[in-house]
Chains A and B, each alone.
Chain A
Amino acid sequence: GEDVEQSLFLSVREGDSSVINCTYTDSSSTYLYWYKQEPGAGLQLLTYIFSNMDMKQDQRLTVLLNKKDKHLSLRIADTQTGDSAIYFCAEKGEQAGTALIFGKGTTLSVSS
């Protein structure tokens, strides 16, 4: 079945880079996402990558996709205390109306 796995916790110091990793099982996944969830808030779409790409950069965020190994990562450069949150990896098929399949989330803790 479909499954998305993430490590549960990551702790970094302010100014360092953070790398959050994710593996997925569905080879038909077309879109791969990173969402951010802060306490008491909804899910914020950070970025997503189409499966025919291997890298996408957006300001401090870099997404790397290894489709062969079904491995996705999110790198946050110059991590700030405001980046502390839960980060969810998710996958989705190409067809309209297919739901997002989420991992359990990685809690990122940034210390000053």
Chain B
Amino acid sequence: GAGVSQTPSNKVTEKGKYVELRCDPISGHTALYWYRQSLGQGPEFLIYFQGTGAADDSGLPNDRFFAVRPEGSVSTLKIQRTERGDSAVYLCASSLGGPRYDNEQFFGPGTRLTVL
């Protein structure tokens, strides 16, 4: 595809449920980032993958959040026992990766998660 895609575009769930959010990065991009954007705020970093491994997960708020990228392409962000405070837009970005090409991150349209 031409850009980063994310599914679903909207997800409504109930408190306590489990959700999975998917990101398809730009083909050939080895670096993948997840960010979270709350209402009226800028995006905040969650986790960074280089290839298949999570190179930096320091932004994950707690152990209810987990992300995988098993084949180095598609990534899934998983949230267990969702809370109302998890409601936000979850953004995925990808870049070519590496020291020379990591400076351009391209974002997907995001998944809007609403926890009732």
The interface of chain A, by Cβ under 8 A from chain B, is 4, 30-31, 35, 40-45, 48, 88, 90, 92, 94-105
A97 engages B106 (CB within 8 Å): no
For A30, the closest partner residue in chain B by CB is B103
The secondary structure that dominates the B interface is loop
Contact of B42 among A41, A44, A104 (CB under 8 A): A104
Q: Are the C-beta atoms of B108 and A42 separated by less than 8 Å?
A: yes
Q: Does B25 contact A (CB under 8 A)?
A: no
Given contacts A48-B103, A102-B43, 20 further A-B contacts (CB under 8 A): A31-B103, A41-B109, A42-B91, A42-B107, A42-B109, A43-B107, A45-B105, A48-B104, A96-B31, A97-B56, A99-B45, A99-B56, A100-B33, A100-B35, A100-B93, A103-B42, A104-B40, A104-B41, A104-B42, A105-B42
By beta carbon, the residue of chain A nearest B112 is: A40
B55 adjacent to A97 (CB under 8 Å): yes
> A96, B33: Cβ atoms under 8 Å?
no
A-B contact count (CB 8 A): 65
Chain B residues in the interface with A (C-beta under 8 A): 4, 31, 33, 35, 40-45, 48, 50, 55-56, 59, 91, 93, 97-99, 102-110
Flag if B43 contacts A43 (CB, 8 Å): yes
A39 to B99, CA, bound (A): 32
28 A-B residue pairings within 8 Å (CB atoms) = A40-B109, A42-B4, A42-B91, A42-B107, A42-B108, A42-B109, A42-B110, A43-B91, A43-B107, A45-B106, A48-B103, A48-B104, A90-B42, A92-B103, A95-B99, A97-B48, A97-B97, A99-B45, A99-B48, A99-B56, A99-B59, A100-B43, A100-B45, A100-B93, A100-B105, A103-B42, A105-B41, A105-B42
